[in-house]
Amino acid sequence: MSKSVNKLALALVAAYDKASVPNHDRTVSVNPLVAEIATWYEKFRTAMDYREDEVILRSTIERILKRRMILGGSGKTVAAPLIRELVWARYFPDSSVPESQVTKVSETIDLYLRLEHQINQHHHLGKGVVNEWILHLLSSEIEHILKPNDPKEFLSNFMFRIFKDKVSIVDDTEEVRDLQVFIAVRRAYAGDDLALLRYHLFIQYFGVLNEENLEKIANHFPHAHKQIEAQFKYPAKDKIHTYIKNQTIPFLILDDVLRKHRGQAISVVSDEELLNQEVISACNIRYKAIAGKVRRAIVRSVIFIFITKAIFALFVEGTFEKLLYGRVFLSSIAVNILTPPILMIIVGFLIESPNRENSYRILRKITTILYDDPPQLGSPLSVKKKPNKIDPLLWFVFILLWLTTATLSFGAVVFILSKFHVNPFSQGVFIFFLAIVSFISFRINKTAHMFIMKDKKENITSLIFDFFFMPLIQVGRRLTLTISQLNIFLLIFDFIIETPFKGIFAFFEQWFSFLRSQREKLD
């Protein structure tokens, strides 16, 4: 049965249906054996740096840029090796990246290096701040060069156009409202990290960096920097993000359906019966994929925690116990090292998959997105930039309750550990990593349930969970972010171990190429 697609959805489907023009340029090709080894190395490296799947490519590009530019470098010396490393690690299939993109990446690197030089020459933001921004912008730009016409961009823009009219900030301008909705969509649907958010707002502010606007951008960069950073600290940002995050599931499934039928998407969305079949099928595929994603997240988390914990236990906890008690308590160190990974594995076993009724709820939402004009996606959101002031006495009671729950949560752990005669320092180490495990487990649980359409009703279980465990999770979140930023082991790994390791990859690839050429002479 045919149905009429609304105008906004029709434009979205048309964008998916545009056939990409085949590129007949020479492509970057790598040795398959080297690529196999490099892929396993990259899996191990990304496991140590806990990040979401959506930003791993960009963060890898940034990591390679840092390593190759730390002693100076230019587009000519960095671009080709960078792309080769990405193909080695199979971020892109072999022979899928045209060599013309190497030139484009090289030019982009030189442009951003010139921009950095001009900003530092004319302004006093601090070289560290400017360098971080340039790396964020450059790595994001390179990702967009290497992944042009990503359908994720089509659907992000589609979501923005739907939700900007459903959100209002009663005490601020429409321009700010649009910026906050844009940021919320990019975070909730596209999974952008800070670097990608900075890049997208930079593009909104200045446009894509080129020779013509480079000087203008350098002159106005401090003002843009201040304006963009202010948006990330906007008081109402979390409410807007949560509102949009709770409605992203149908859009993710719709994206799967449209990607699968690129070139024929309009015929699918125009046939309600066919669309129903494809949506249910896409849901089932996603549910199975989520199980794999959760397993990968658990493995990465175990490696991240185990390595961090093992190093801390052996070098800090062991040394402290030796100095304070005259000996090392191997049993407490073993408990501290093994408990976090075991807890992560238990979390994996307790996760359940969505049911068929959930798929039908998603289908109903997709139907309204495609056919209703405007789509009926629930009540609109109205927020204030400046929230209503809470009565000081009530605020004091809330803080007291929060501190009480934190004391109960941490106190219970201390009580149990004391019963097992664990010394105070080891107790502190245990709580430190328990908080991290709690946060990572919370994140993994959210990933496992990311395709479950939830109702908004609170139940007694969720209230008890929030009451007792939220302080532990909040502490774990702060600790995880701090460790990720200050992980000395990763700095050593990236700049001392990885450089010669990638050099060995390059040597063997050239050696295999030489052997192949010698073999061809015998034919």
Q: Reduce the DSSP state of residue 4 to 3 states and report it.
A: coil
Burial of 198 (0-12, 13-18, 19+ CB in 10 A): buried
CA dihedral 257, 259, 262, 267 (to 10 degrees): 10
Q: Residue 385's pLDDT is what?
A: 84
Per-residue pLDDT tens digits for 453-510? 876 555 666 666 666 677 778 887 777 766 655 555 566 666 666 666 666 666 666 6
Q: Domain boundaries in the chain?
A: 271-486
Task: Name the residue with tokens 């009663």.
Answer: 170
Q: Write the DSSP symbol of residue 27.
A: B
pLDDT tier for residue 513 given thresholds of 50, 70 and 90: low
Considering only 19-23, 409-413, 420-424, 510-514, which range has the smallest mean pLDDT?
A: 19-23
Per-residue pLDDT tens digits for 31-71? 777 777 777 777 767 766 656 777 889 999 998 898 888 77
Q: Is the pLDDT of residue 18 over 80?
A: no
Contact 244, 184 (CB under 8 A): yes
Q: Quick one: tokens of 502?
A: 């990638």
Task: Name the residue with tokens 């490393």.
Answer: 85
CA dihedral 81, 83, 89, 93 (to 10 degrees): -140
pLDDT (average), residues 206-234:
94
Closest CA to 112 of 54, 56, 57, 62: 62
Quickly count helices (H) and strands (E) in the chain: 22, 2
Distance in angstroms (rounded) separating the CA atoms of residues 25 and 23: 6
Q: Residue 362's pLDDT is what?
A: 93
One-letter amino acid identity for 348? Answer: G
Give the contacts of 246 (CB within 8 A, at least 6 positions apart). Answer: 454
Give the contacts of 104 (CB within 8 A, at least 6 positions apart). Answer: 145
Q: Percentage of the chain surpassing pLDDT 70?
A: 78
Distance in angstroms (rounded) separating the CA atoms of residues 205 and 229: 13
pLDDT (average), residues 84-93:
87
Distance in angstroms (rounded) separating the CA atoms of residues 492 and 479: 20
Burial of 315 (0-12, 13-18, 19+ CB in 10 A): exposed
Comparing 210 with 73, which gets the higher pLDDT?
210
Closest CA to 119 of 41, 128, 324: 128
Distance in angstroms (rounded) separating the CA atoms of residues 254 and 19: 19
Distance in angstroms (rounded) separating the CA atoms of residues 224 and 204: 10
Distance in angstroms (rounded) separating the CA atoms of residues 269 and 278: 10
Q: Write the DSSP symbol of residue 22.
A: P
Per-residue pLDDT tens digits for 106-131? 999 999 999 999 999 999 888 899 99
Q: Reduce the DSSP state of residue 5 to 3 states and report it.
A: coil
Q: Is the pLDDT of residue 428 over 90?
A: no
Comparing 442 with 359, which gets the higher pLDDT?
359
Q: Is the pLDDT of residue 224 over 90?
A: yes
pLDDT tier for residue 321 given thresholds of 50, 70 and 90: low
Q: Are strands 167-169 and 381-383 parallel, antiparallel or unpaired?
A: parallel
pLDDT (average), residues 218-245:
93
Cα angle 57-58-63, degrees, rounded to a multiple of 5: 95
Give the contacts of 41 (CB within 8 A, at least 6 positions apart). Answer: 89, 501
Q: Residue 411's pLDDT is what?
A: 84
Mean pLDDT rounded to a whole number for the chain? 81
